[in-house]
Amino acid sequence: MKTARAGRSKGEPDDEQPLAGHIVALIFEKPSTRTRVSFDVGVCQMGGKTLVLSGRDMHLGHGETIADTARVLSRFVDLIMIRTFNESVLTELAEHATVPVINGLTNRTHPCQIMADIMTFEEHRGPITGKKVVCYGDGHNNVFSSFLQGAAKFGFDITFSGPPGLAPEDEFMNMARKAGCSVAIEQDPVKAVQNADLVVTDTWVSMHDSQSAKEQRHNLLRPYQVNDDLMAHARADALFMHCLPAHREEEATSSVMDGPHSVIFDEAENRLHAQKAIMRWCLAI
């Protein structure tokens, strides 16, 4: 789908218009740049319409149950994408909706991001199966949890490197291990990066994390900054990814983000292409 529209201006429709006659609700309970724009543009390119809704302006979970919201929205729209806080809001919405519901990020997971990341890796380096991915920072991070979900599906190995007490959830590690992937925890950042094919980091403080703990988190995570010295220990052809938004010079230096290993802006663009495929898959069109 990406190749099919190479060279077109962004607003030009795709040759195929699978979403013609379809309307998609995009619900945001948290801020977003990439997810909001990529879903909206993607629906538009495929001939559909969007309703971009702020959770604040809806009765969702306050004044109306999530189940009733799901039933009502299902009478108006063909597909729902939601970015929310607790994952239970997403699962409850999906359980009661009669249309597909896409996870646009929860406190716990961010699967659309990982579909774009895997697409980006494979565009640059071929199949990700059997490759080594190293994630630096907070193991509870939603992007890293979805990397484990992705590992279970695509068969790559993951090493986490972060301070004690911030290891990933057992459920996600077990999911990847059960699928035959190697999942390691290595507190030494330099040891972790040996033979890495892909180095990933994310913000040290996520949108749902308490801002009052910011300083303490920064102190804990500072040794895990991805900088040129660390990247020098990865494979020479290792890629660097960050889902963005980034806090430059905190979790990663600008020299890495704008350097030869980095594919961060391809990663951002691929949100569009990967999510268009996800929407087609959800609607079987």
Binding site for ligand NVA (CB under 6 A): 105, 141-143, 202-203, 206-207, 243
In the chain, what is the straight-line distance between the N-terminal and C-terminal CA atoms, in Å? 13
Cβ distance 226 to 251 under 8 Å? yes
- In the bound state with ligand NVA, the residue whose beta carbon lies nearer, of 105 and 200, is 105
Catalytic residue among 34, 40, 78, 83: 83
Residues 89-148 that bind ligand CP (CB under 6 A): 105, 113
Residue 141 contacts which entry, ligand NVA, ligand CP, none (Cβ below 5-8 A, type-dependent): ligand NVA
Catalytic residue among 22, 96, 110, 217: 110
68 part of the active site: no
We find the least distance from the C-beta atom of residue 268 to ligand NVA, in angstroms, to be 10
Residues 220-249 that bind ligand CP (CB under 6 A): 243-245
The 10 Å Cβ neighbour count of residue 207 is 15
Residues 33-92 that bind ligand CP (CB under 6 A): 33-35
Rounded to the nearest 5°, which phi and psi values hold at 39?
-65, -45
Residue 145 contacts which entry, ligand CP, ligand NVA, none (Cβ below 5-8 A, type-dependent): none
Question: Considering just the CA atoms, what is the radius of gyration of the chain in Å?
Answer: 19
243 part of the active site: yes
Rounded to the nearest 5°, which phi and psi values hold at 258?
-105, 10
Residue 219, SS3 per DSSP:
helix
Burial of 215 (0-12, 13-18, 19+ CB in 10 A): exposed
Catalytic residues: 83, 110, 113, 202, 243, 271
Residues in contact with ligand CP by CB under 6 A are: 32-35, 105, 113, 243-245
